[in-house]
Amino acid sequence: MIERNITKIAENVYWVGARDWNRRLFDALISLPKGTAYNAYLIMSRNGKALIDTVNPGFEKELEEKIRSLTSPEEIDYVIMNHAEPDHAGAIPHMLRVAPKAKLVTTSRGEKMARVFYNVPQERIKVVGENETISLGDKTLRFIEAPMLHWPETMFTYLEEDKILFPCDFFGSHLAGGVYSDEVEDLLVHAQRYWGEIMMPFRAMAQKALQKIANLEVRIIAPSHGPIHRKPELILNAYNRWAAGETRPKATIAYVSMWNSTDAIVRQMAETLATEGIELAFHNLAMTDVGDLAKDLVDSRAIVLGAPTVLGGAHPLAVYTTYLFKALRPPTRFAVLLSSYGWGGGAIKHIQELLGQFKIEVVGTLEINGPPTEENMRQIVNIGRALAKKIREEA
């Protein structure tokens, strides 16, 4: 048999997932500069064997071969579907074919998804509820419902004897490489980006899930993407901060400019905020990466949106960004809106309409005609100082 990479993470518990080094796009939205991994885990016990999650379509044979290097798939009793999204559940039809006695274990909401997405026959589905357990002999699986993290059916699986939490997407990062998170130098940067892209819109549900597991003794967190956390405090502390919406004295500047006028006022705003001691993240929307922007929104206390008027409204890149900003639901408290127009304005009004009822305090706006005058620059300095004051007072 061809050698396959597997990792033993505890006695009779193995990582049997796949590394997708070349993947660069997820959901036709999220860029993956470092690829990703689809983590699946095989648990072998005296009286039973269970596979926790599967892999993305295209990696079925790789998963099967890894399992075969440890045991015969015919001996698998349970395939646990913590989450129905195809990057983890896409190989379920294959696995249920090669593991003919295996039952698919899922939540009541996952049951319908298993039938709709993967044509799993009813008789092969075992629905589990909150805190229900399955004994494999000397290993026990406990199921913890974690709805909307980030689909309705999501759940965590807890391996009681080894104190391993398998939370599927939660606590993940899109990294193809890296086995253990404490060995990955910039793990938190990637985890923050992933949180911003995937989990941030569901902060309330994340807080509920974190409360549920707060009293659970967890030795290892084994997510479905990225490295495994054998020192869980690091990622748990970060998730507690992010779910609570803790921000830093930081402003994210997101802007687009056509003929450098919006650029000039945005740069002056950056100068003023920096002078006031505010940490800055600077994103030119014509070239920035959406994932980087999402990462910065996780802990920014303010956003500065800059956009010229074009075609009767805000520049389309700013329209897209405002929409995304609302959808990601960051904990941002303050906003400043800046714009320049050639012969007819309207961008700021357009952005304010797009923001609608989104709970954010607009500290200042400035819409100028053409390049900024010295008076415009003084106005920007004043708005910047007011914003900095708000940011500092919020601490």
Choose which of 64, 85, 111, 296 interacts with ligand FEO (CB under 6 A).
85
Choose which of 224, 300, 339, 379 interacts with ligand FEO (CB under 6 A).
224
Closest CB 110 distance from ligand FEO, rounded Å: 12
Q: Whose structure tokens read 């890149």?
A: 317
Mention every residue, 6+ apart, whose C-beta is less than 8 A from residue 42: 13, 14, 16, 49, 50, 51, 52, 66, 67, 70, 71, 76
Q: Bridge-partner residues for 144, per DSSP?
A: 156
Choose which of 53, 87, 153, 299 interacts with ligand FEO (CB under 6 A).
87
Residue 60 within binding range of ligand FEO, rule CB under 6 A: no
DSSP 8-state code for residue 47: T
> Rule CB under 6 A: which of 132-161 touch ligand FEO?
150
Helices (H) and strands (E) in the chain, counts: 12, 23
Distance CA 295, CA 236 (A): 17
Q: Whose structure tokens read 């609570």?
A: 244
DSSP 8-state code for residue 335: E
For the CA atoms of the chain, what is the radius of gyration?
24
Closest CB 244 distance from ligand FEO, rounded Å: 22
What's the Cα-to-Cα distance from 39 to each of 135, 138, 174, 360, rounded to whole Å? 22, 23, 11, 38
Distance CA 116, CA 84 (A): 10
Q: Which stretch binds ligand FEO (CB under 6 A): 81-89, 90-98, 255-263, 377-385?
A: 81-89
Alpha helix ranges (H) inside 226-332: 233-244, 261-275, 290-297, 316-328
Comparing every residue's Cβ against ligand FEO, the nearest one is 85
Closest CB 149 distance from ligand FEO, rounded Å: 9
225 vs 350, beta carbon nearer ligand FEO: 225
CB 153 within 8 A of CB 127: no
> Rule CB under 6 A: which of 271-300 touch ligand FEO?
none
Distance CA 319, CA 285 (A): 11
The angle formed by the CA atoms of residues 210, 212 and 218, to the nearest 5 degrees, is 75
Residue 88 within binding range of ligand FEO, rule CB under 6 A: yes
Choose which of 19, 23, 66, 83 interacts with ligand FEO (CB under 6 A).
83
Residue 23 within binding range of ligand FEO, rule CB under 6 A: no
> Rule CB under 6 A: which of 225-254 touch ligand FEO?
225
Residue 20 within binding range of ligand FEO, rule CB under 6 A: no
Task: Lay out the site mask for ligand FEO across 171-210 (x = CB under 6 A, - = otherwise).
Answer: ----------------------------------------
Total residues contacting ligand FEO by CB under 6 A comes to 8
Closest CB 87 distance from ligand FEO, rounded Å: 4
CB 338 within 8 A of CB 311: no
Residue 19 within binding range of ligand FEO, rule CB under 6 A: no
Task: Lay out the site mask for ligand FEO across 334-373 (x = CB under 6 A, - = otherwise).
Answer: ----------------------------------------
Closest CB 155 distance from ligand FEO, rounded Å: 13
Closest CB 34 distance from ligand FEO, rounded Å: 15
DSSP 8-state code for residue 22: T
CB 284 within 8 A of CB 253: no
Q: Which stretch binds ligand FEO (CB under 6 A): 80-88, 121-129, 264-272, 364-372?
A: 80-88
Nearest to 329 by CA among 205, 152, 145, 176: 205
Residue 169 within binding range of ligand FEO, rule CB under 6 A: yes
Site residues for ligand FEO per CB under 6 A: 83, 85, 87-88, 150, 169, 224-225
